[in-house]
Amino acid sequence: GEDVEQSLFLSVREGDSSVINCTYTDSSSTYLYWYKQEPGAGLQLLTYIFSNMDMKQDQRLTVLLNKKDKHLSLRIADTQTGDSAIYFCAIRGPGGGADGLTFGKGTHLIIQP
Amino acid sequence: KAGVTQTPRYLIKTRGQQVTLSCSPISGHRSVSWYQQTPGQGLQFLFEYFSETQRNKGNFPGRFSGRQFSNSRSEMNVSTLELGDSALYLCASSLFAGGAYGYTFGSGTRLTVV
């Protein structure tokens, strides 16, 4: 089945850009997502990208997709203390998503003052 | 509009008991999915319901079951609880089957089995 890998931790200074990376194995993935989870909360959908796109920008967020290398990244510009959370990459496979989403283990984003 | 509502927020159960968790999706959403989140395994797909039909089920034993009602509300049931069932159970809803444009998640039910 699908495998999704992420680094466990990322530490950045407040005001800098954060880049969270994700690699996946299934080249037939159709939609790719980034979710954010704050302590004690559920998952918040940040953004998604279709597999036929290579970039999507949404305010401070930029998603880059390299299908050849099966690599997805999320860039957060001007990182703030409120961005401190766990960020999950998730992949929707073929078959209309009937097998649900496959999530990475999440990247803990730590903001240094 | 109201988000995805899960009840209860916290549950403590004893091994061998059964438990029922409830999820009310966003109004108009017909797809409801359930995920289990644990520190060791991360987020794992349990099942998805769309228009009262189970589309698929993840790699979980038959003790895990669910259903969806005509108003799209969903319940999941775990019978004969084991210590390893302790987890955060997340419900997610979507307009479309398979959550093409993303799911909206609830805050979860934290189940502790003692």
Between A44-58, A85-99, B14-28, B85-99, the lowest mean confidence (pLDDT) is in A85-99
- Could you tell me the two tokens for A90? 């998730």
Residue A68 pLDDT exceeds 80: yes
Task: Pick the residue of A2, A3, A43 with the most B CBs within 10 A to test the interface with B by mutation.
Answer: A43
Residue A32 pLDDT exceeds 90: yes
* Least CB–CB distance from B98: residue in A40, A41, A96: A96
**Mean of pLDDT values over A98-108:** 92
Between A35-44, A102-111, B97-106, the lowest mean confidence (pLDDT) is in B97-106
What percent of chain B is modeled with pLDDT above 90?
89
Residue A97 pLDDT exceeds 90: no
* Least CB–CB distance from A98: residue in B6, B46, B55: B55
Closest-CA distance, B34 to chain A, in angstroms, reads 9
The DSSP code sequence of A58-104 is ETTEEEEEETTTTEEEEEESS--GGG-EEEEEEEE-TTTTTT-EEE-
